[in-house]
Amino acid sequence: MYKYILESSCQNCHFKTDPSTDKGHYESPGFPNNYAKGGVCSWKISAPSGAGQDNKRIKITINKLDIKKGDEVIIWDGPSCDDDDILPSISLKEYSKSIPGTDIVFSMEFDVCVELKRPSSSDRAAGISFDWETIPGCGGTVSKTTDILTPRYPTFPYVPELEPCDWSFKMGTGQKMLFEFQEFKLRGPSLFIDCDIDWMILKGIDGFQNNQKLCGERKNLGPYKSTGNTAEMIFRSQLDLIDLIPKKGFWIRVTSLGCSSDDFYIPHSIHTNPGTFYDTGYVAKVRCKEGYQFNDDYDETTLECQADQKWKGTIRVCMPKQCGDVPNVSNGKVKATSGNDVGSVATYTCDIGYNLVGEATRTCQPDQTWSGTTPQCQGGGKTACGNPGAPANGAIIGNNFNFGQTVKFVCNIGYELAGQDSLTCQQDGTWNGDRPTCTLVQCDIQEVSTPPLNGNVRVDGSKFGDVAIYTCNPGYILVGDNRICDSDGTWTGSTPQCISEIIGTECPIPTTRAYSSVTYNGLVIGSIATYTCFYGYTLDGLEQRTCLPSGEWSGLAPFCSRNETATRPPPRTGGQTDVQKAKTVGIVVGVVIPVVVLVSLTAGFLIYKRRNSIPPNQHGVENPTYDSQPKT
């Protein structure tokens, strides 16, 4: 990317640049109105630098210079507007009064400074307006209108032998170039022969033979025109002991010729000789494409390429041709994509309950007529689609098959729907899709593919109803059931186990601890024992234990610990709990036994007292016999 503007020394010094085209435009403050009095305004410009760019030069074109007495404009060659620096600038040109037209100044190097000095005078003027652009130095590639100069032209002569220059020109396809000699002063005779000191060769130029040399001082040369869009220019200067005085050099203005096809491009048009550029005097004939016509009904327009690279003639506009209004249809609608223009497509649709008879579309043709004929919308009753039928292993829900109605589909248990679960009857009497199908539910076969330890599994399929069959190796018993692919796509149960026959298949009656009871649903493997505590006690441990394949109950029997927060038993509901029964037994034992003991002691005491009250048998007879007869 080029960097041109280094600085501007005063405010409101207007400048406009376009780095992509290597040029710019500057104006003094207030231009074209009068500038303020006093002060200095300067512009510092630098051409690109770097590899292949160091020989660039700057061309200053003064468009207008309007100054008063005491004002001064100086154009310096160098990086500053001063000749007192360590590397002083050289004054290329000085202006102390206005100039009637334009003027051109060339820098010798790639830096230039334009300075406007304004004394404190009340007499003021518009100031200065100028353009600048970079131009090739000694040699290079040229692809646009520019100026070709010998080194240091016009301030100093060129240096013989040290500065050979070669220029290569290449313009756009179809373009030519015009070479205008502004000044030509080289050493040597002013003939096309004996050019052996300083000389120039032009190649690809009409009127010049290849390797034909041009030298000496010449006036009224050219202008010359290139034969195509490419050309070459070679400059050589030899050291000569006889002719030691160098000359000023040359200045050649190279202008690209031809008019660009972009400048007369007309959309939807056809050019009889398409190209990029056209030579001066070329006449282009343009007409519209099929389906289009000029806005003023002309069939063709002509444009001529002028010397100023502009087209002369009327550039017309190609407008689409049109058909008449597209015909309407009863009981329906019509809509066109691009109105009535050629190429527009009109589409017909019918109202609900009507069927389209004929082509649904018509196109506006180049002959400005609509293709085909207008269709019709017939009917007026309800459109029916017919019964789509139930899918195999499924059913259909709904029995209204008229336009706008929807039916649904379901599958039997073990089957799943593939496709749309509903269809809607359309206006044209067709359903908006295909009837779905019912396919068997699939289970994940990987889930049952692994056999149990010490066993095997056989799986014949993974569809609904298929069975995974498990068997055990000799000496082992299968605990569990085969697994079946269920209707929800899952396998029933879990993988069974193979248990050694030595271990057995039953557990002992589960043990209990104090203040607890146990219930169980069996003693075979897999049975469950459930523990509960008496009222006022809390379970501490597992509530349930399982009968394991080892013939043992899982875990340990839980403990029942006293619950200190319990205050009273739950209300009676018609039966006694184990705790209540225990309390009843305790009460009975505590009351009955003391009563029995007391009765026994009382009876013994009475018997003992009676025996002591009978008089003893004096004759030693334990059972005396009393006479029951009365005395006489």
The pTM for the full model equals: 0.46
Is the pLDDT at 608 greater than 50, yes or no?
no
Coarse DSSP helix, strand, coil percentages of the chain, rounded to the nearest 5 percent: 5, 40, 55
Going by pLDDT thresholds of 50, 70 and 90, the confidence category of residue 243 is: confident
pLDDT of residue 495: 92
Instruction: Report whether 158 contacts 231 (CB < 8 A).
Output: no
pLDDT of residue 380: 65
Give the strand pairing for 140-142 and 165-170.
Answer: parallel
Domains and CATH numbers, the chain: 5-135 (2.60.120.290), 140-257 (2.60.120.290), 260-320 (2.10.70.10), 332-379 (2.10.70.10), 394-440 (2.10.70.10), 445-500 (2.10.70.10), 516-562 (2.10.70.10)
The Cα 561–Cα 63 span in angstroms is 116
- The structure tokens listed for 553 are 């109950």
Backbone angles phi, psi at 602, to 5 degrees: -65, -45
Instruction: Report whether 136 contacts 142 (CB < 8 A).
Output: yes
Q: Would you give the end-to-end CA distance of the chain in angstroms? A: 183
Strand order in the sheet with 345-350: 332-336, 345-350, 361-363
pLDDT of residue 347: 95
pLDDT of residue 632: 33
Sole residue written with tokens 């679960």: 421
Contacts of 443 (CB under 8 A, 6+ apart): 462, 463, 464, 466, 485, 486, 489, 490, 491
Residue (of 107, 99, 53) closest to 77 by Cα position = 107
Helix, coil or strand: residue 75:
strand
Instruction: Report whether 547 contacts 525 (CB < 8 A).
Output: yes
Q: How many angstroms separate the most distant Cα atoms in the chain?
A: 227
pLDDT in tens, 182-194: 999 988 776 656 7
The Cα 76–Cα 438 span in angstroms is 95
Going by pLDDT thresholds of 50, 70 and 90, the confidence category of residue 587 is: very low
Is the pLDDT at 612 greater than 50, yes or no?
no
pLDDT in tens, 19-36: 455 788 888 888 888 887
Is the pLDDT at 408 greater than 90, yes or no?
yes
Going by pLDDT thresholds of 50, 70 and 90, the confidence category of residue 543 is: very high
Instruction: Report whether 338 contacts 344 (CB < 8 A).
Output: yes
Is the pLDDT at 48 greater than 60, yes or no?
yes
- The structure tokens listed for 12 are 């409101």
